[in-house]
Amino acid sequence: MSSGTIAPRATTGLPRTRIETHSGRRRLLWRNVTAYGVLSLGSVLMIIPFLWMLSTSLKDDRQAYVFPPIWIPSPVAWNNYLDTWQALPFNLFFLNSAFVSLVLTVAQLATCSLGAFAFARLRFPGRERLFVLYLATLMIPFQVIMIPLFVLVKEFGWIDSYWGLTIPLIFSPYGTFLLRQFFKTIPLELEDAAKIDGCSWFRIYWNIMLPLSKPAMATLGIFVFMWSWNNFLWPLLIVSSLEMKTLPLGLAYFLGQYTIYWNLLMVGATIALVPVLVIFFFAQRYFIEGITLTGLKG
């Protein structure tokens, strides 16, 4: 009874006994140990690059290249952050990124929720056909439309401007689809009462649908913000001046200018990463829910 290793063989064919549950618990323990081992090793591998970035960002020019590499900088070169901030107009990059991301988030939430409401709740001729068209465009990679989009923005005179950075990216079939799916899950009863009272459709959208859809709106909003904050390809095509660069562009430019100053480059990377990471830590739930929502219903 005390020896767990021979217990399974001893009990084959017998009804369940205490010995068997004992071995089951052992098996469970073994499984948990393996799981913890795998997960912890993985976490270390996930975190090391970030720690290495932080560590390098606080080293002076000599320490950054010292061999063997050191993890704890001494002295700690806090002034790297100031130097980086002064080397390039990082405050402008930061403000550009924040402005573009906020505008895109608000505008996309507005247009997507309005459109999604029509698709989810209003009956109009051609609704299904239009919706299928929206779905079909979900498959189209951005690279296919980016060249005509660039030409169009050039025609509009929006090259190197906030207009060009925001307007072409506001309209999202994906966001419309996501919100439409969510609106569909909200029971009709509340609106029926409002309709009998003679509420306009806009009132129903604004006073009933939106307040009930806060989680879905939050999820979409966070995704749009994160995506715009990190977006690189489109700004790369249309921004030419230093003053209009967003953070990822500024970072790429910084790399070209300061290729050998890896301590300063790591400061730049840290600056670009921090805002989204902060948002992520506070709004994790929406990230995870958003991914499982789009993943399993998309």
Partner 1 sequence: MATSAPAWRSPANWLGPEYRNPARRREIRAAFLFLLPNVVGFLIFMVGPLLASLGFSLLDWNLLSAPDMVWLGNYLELFRDAEFWRSLRATFYYLVGSVPLGLVLSLALALALNQRIRGIRFFRTVYFIPVVSSMVAVALMWRWMYNPTSGILNYMLNETFAFLRLPLRAPDWLQSPVWAMPAIILMSVWKGMGYNMVLFLAGLQGIPRHLYEAAEIDGASNQRQFWTITLPLLTPTTFFVLIMSIIGSFQVFEQAYIMTQGGPVRSTVTTVYYIYENGFEWHKMGYASAVAWVLFALILGVTLIQWRTQERWVFYE
> How far apart are alpha carbons 139 and 246 in whole angstroms?
27
Closest CB to partner 1 among 47 and 82?
Answer: 47
Residue labelled with tokens 């299904």: 128
> How far apart are alpha carbons 291 and 116 in whole angstroms?
19
Give how many residues touch partner 1 by CB under 8 A: 100
SS3 126: coil
The one among 91, 137, 207, 257 contacting partner 1 by CB under 8 A:
137
Closest CB to partner 1 among 48 and 76?
Answer: 48
Using CB under 8 A as the binding rule, the residues of this chain from 219 to 258 that contact partner 1 are 226, 229-230, 232-233, 236-237, 247-248, 251-252, 255
DSSP letters for 47-108: HHHHHHHHHHHTS-HHHHT-SS--SS-SS--THHHHHHHHHTTHHHHHHHHHHHHHHHHHHH
> How far apart are alpha carbons 95 and 231 in whole angstroms?
15
Contact between 286 and partner 1 per CB under 8 A? no
Least separation, in Å, of the C-beta of 185 and partner 1? 17
Least separation, in Å, of the C-beta of 288 and partner 1? 6
Residue 213 in contact with residue 286, Cβ under 8 Å?
Answer: no
- Torsional class of 122: left (φ above 0), alpha (ψ -120 to 50), beta (otherwise): beta
Closest CB to partner 1 among 82 and 288?
Answer: 288
CA 286 to chain CA centroid, nearest Å: 10
Least separation, in Å, of the C-beta of 218 and partner 1? 15
The one among 101, 176, 213, 219 contacting partner 1 by CB under 8 A:
176
Residue labelled with tokens 């979409």: 220
Contact between 177 and partner 1 per CB under 8 A? no
The one among 100, 104, 112, 220 contacting partner 1 by CB under 8 A:
112
- Binding string to partner 1 for residues 72 to 101, with x set by CB under 8 A, is what? ------------------------------
Contacting range for partner 1; rule: CB under 8 A; set: 72-80, 135-143, 186-194, 211-219: 135-143
The one among 15, 75, 125, 211 contacting partner 1 by CB under 8 A:
125
